[in-house]
Amino acid sequence: MIVLRPVLRSSARHLGVTRLRFWELMGSKRKTRLPLSVQRWCSSEVSGLSSDHVCSGTVEYQYLKKYFVRRLKATYHRFHSIPDYSVVCGCHHVYFIKDDGIYRIDKRDSILEPEQVVNLEHVSRGGGKTRAESDERFQWTVQRIRLSPQEKHLAATLKSSHKEELRCVVVRLGERNIPLLPPHHILLELESVFSFEWATDDVLFYTTLEGLRSSSVFRLHLASDGSSKITSVYEETHPDVFVEVALSRDRQMLTINCNSRTSSEVMLIDVTKSYSEPLVIQPRQLDLLYHVEHWKGLLIILVNTGPAQEYQVMQAPVSEPSMASWVTLFAPSPDTAIKDMDVVGDYLLLVANTPAGKLTLNVMSLSNLKETHIIQLPSWACAIETKKPGLADQQGVLEFLLSSPVHPPVPYSLDPGKGLLLSDAGNQTYLESQDKYITTRLEACSQDGTLVPVTVFHAVPVEDLGQGWALAYCHIRGGGERGLSWHRRGRVEEKPRGVEDLQACLHNLFSLGVSSPSRAALTACSAGAVPVAALCNRNPNKMRAVTLQAPFLDVLGTMEKPNLPLTLEDREEWGDPVGNLSHRHIIASYCPLHNITPQHYPSMLLTAYSGDPRVPLEGVLKYAKFIKKAIHAHFSMKPNAGCKSAPKIVLNVQPGVSHLGPEDFVQRLEETNVLRVQLAS
C-alpha cells in the first residue's frame, strides 16, 4: 500500500491512502457488487474491446453478488462492536450516536431508558425546507460532539451526503424530570462549521469552511435570556493557509491553528478570558511547522527544528511564548520520526515510528525529565487513534486504538504514572485476527539507491505466498512514514521519485515470489493515484489490474487553474506550472493524463464522484476517454495483439460530494462489490 499522508490537517487532496494489493486473480470467484439503489446512478463504461466482462444480468454475476453481500455483512457484524470513540462522557451522562440522532444515558440512574438529545429528522425539517428536502433526513450523519464544561450545552456537527460543508447544531441540555419544559432544545443551527470547541458553558469558538477553505474564526455567546451573539475573532488572508480551533487536553487553553503545507502560526486564548485578543505564539516563518499543548503554565511545542528539520519537543512559558524562549525537552534518535504528541497528566507522550517501521510510545515525566521510557507496541500495529477525553474521563490516562489493514482496532489504555499498559486484546475476535495474519517489513532499493520500506500482510509464510494472497503497503517518498524529510523528498521537483519507488517495490515483491505481474492489482485513492497511473504509462505490464478511487489524474491541467479550490495550496506540493517553467516540465513528465500512449494497459476501475470538489470530475472523464482510445489504437496497430485479452476500463461515476466514498454502510457495500468484481473478473 502506498501511504502518502498529508503532513498537516487540511482540506487538500489526500496524498494517501493508496494501496498496492496482490490477489490471486486467476480463477478467483470473488467478483460481485450490490445493485445500485434508485437514488444513485452508475456510469459503467467498459472498453468495447473486451467481450468477457461480467455483466450485471448474468447468472454468474447474480450468484457472486449474493455471495459477497453475505460475506461482507458477516464480517461487518463480526466487528461492529469495536469502539470508535464516538461515545462522549459528560459529568452526569454518557452520549452516543445512533442512526436517527444523538442519545444519552444518565450515569446516576442506569435503569432509565436512553433519551434522545438530537433528532436528525427534526434537524432536516428545520429552516423552512420543502418536503423533498426534508426527506434527506436519513442521509444525515453525526460527525463530532462537544459538551460545554458543566454539561449545560451540546454542540454537534452533522453532514449530509449531498454537501461538503457541515451543519452545527447547538443544543441546550435540560433534565427530563422538569415538567412543562422541553428537556432539550436546539438553540441554533450554524452552517458550514468545520471545527468548534467550548471555552465556557456559554462561549463556543468555531471556524467555517467555504469552498474547501477554512479562514474565519468566530465566537458564539449564549446569553441567559436565550439570545445569542456571534462576533468575528480572526480572519486569515493567505489563501494557502487552513485554520482550525482546538482545546488543550487540560481544557485551559484554546488554540487557533493556522497551517499551510510549509509553515504554521498558532494563537492562544485563555478560556477564563475568552473575550481577550488571541496571543500569537510564534509569527509565521517559512519552513517552520509547530503544534502546541499546555501544561501548568508552560507551552509544550512539537516543532520541526530538530536535525534534518524533523520534529522535536520544546517548551516555553505562556508569558513568553515566542521562539526566543523555546527550550529543548526531547529530541528523537536519528531516523526515528515523531508522529503525534499528547500531554496526559504530568507526562509527555510521543507516538514515534522507529527506523524498522514500528510504532512506539515514548513517555517522559514533565516534572522529572530524567524519568523516560519507551513502550513497545505490538509488531502488527500500523495506526494509532487516541481518544479525546470527555468531561468525566480520567485526565491522567490515555485511551487509544491500535489497528492495521488486517487487524481490527484493539482498545488500549495507558497510565503513564503507574507505567501500566492495558488492552482488551483478550477478546476472541482480536485474538483470531492477530493469530491469523503475519506482518512482514521489507525494503526495496529504488533507482537512486534509496531504501523504500514495504509492509506486507499475509496469511501464510512468505515462502508459500505463491499459493495465497498478500496486501503490501509501499511507503514511497512523499509520504510521512519516515518523517518530514521523507515527505520533502517527494515534493515538487522530486515527485518523479515516487514513481521510481513504486516500481522498485513491485520489482522487489516479484523477485521474492510474493506475487507476479499477472496476479498483481494496485489500488489508489485521491492524489495517491498519481504514481500508480504514472507507472501504468511507463511500465503497464507490471500489473494486471488497477482500481482508483476519486483519482487525481490531471495534475498539469489542475495546477494551471488558480481558480480551482485547492490549486494555490497544492502548488506547494506539486509545483507551479504557470510561474515556473522547470516545474511545468517536471509535472508534464509524469502527469498521468498527459502521458497516455497506445499500449496494452492493465484493466482499470475508476470510481469518481460527480460533485467532488477536491478532484474535478472533468479530469477523470478525460482520462477514461483517452485510455480507451489508446487501447483501441494499440490493438488496431497490432492485430496480433488480439491473442492477448483486451483490458477493461470501467468508469463508475457516483453522485454526491464525498471525496473518500459514501459513509452509509449499504452504499459502501455497493462500492466494495464493484471493486471486487472488477479485480476478480
Half-sphere exposure of residue 582: CA atoms within 13 angstroms, side-chain side: 4
In angstroms, the CA 266 to CA 312 distance is: 17
Q: Give the single-character DSSP code of 85.
A: S
Integer CA distances (angstroms), 507 to 34, 475, 524, 586, in order: 35, 14, 18, 24
Q: Give the single-character DSSP code of 366.
A: S
CA nearest neighbour of 514 among 549, 465, 448, 478: 465
Active-site annotation holder among 124, 501, 612, 681:
612
In angstroms, the CA 32 to CA 176 distance is: 49
The beta-strand segments (E) located in 354-435 are 359-365, 372-376, 383-386, 398-404, 407-415, 420-423
Active-site annotation holder among 526, 603, 658, 681:
526
Residue 291 CB contacts under 8 Å (≥ 6 apart), including other chains: 257, 264, 266, 301, 302, 303, 341
Spatial contact of 349 and 421, defined as CB atoms under 8 Å apart: no
In angstroms, the CA 425 to CA 30 distance is: 30
In angstroms, the CA 131 to CA 125 distance is: 8
Question: Is the bond preceding residue 17 a cis peptide, omega within 30 degrees?
Answer: yes
134 classed as catalytic:
no
CA nearest neighbour of 482 among 352, 603, 611: 352
**Residue 8 CB coordination number (10 Å):** 15
340 classed as catalytic:
no
In angstroms, the CA 15 to CA 523 distance is: 13
Q: Map 473-516 to HEC letters.
A: EECCECECCCCHHHHHCCCHHHCHHHHHHHHHHHHHHHHCCCCC
String of DSSP letters for 28-81: ------PPPPTT-----B--TT---PPPTTSHHHHHHHHHHHHHHHHHHHHHTT
Residue type, 517: P
In angstroms, the CA 33 to CA 61 distance is: 8
The set of cell numbers assigned to 316 is 516555553
659 classed as catalytic:
yes
The set of cell numbers assigned to 347 is 507526562
**431 φ/ψ sector (left φ>0, alpha ψ -120 to 50, else beta):** alpha
Radius of gyration of the chain (CA): 26
In angstroms, the CA 403 to CA 410 distance is: 6
CA-based angle 567:570:573, to the nearest 5?
Answer: 150
Catalytic positions, please?
A: 526, 612, 659
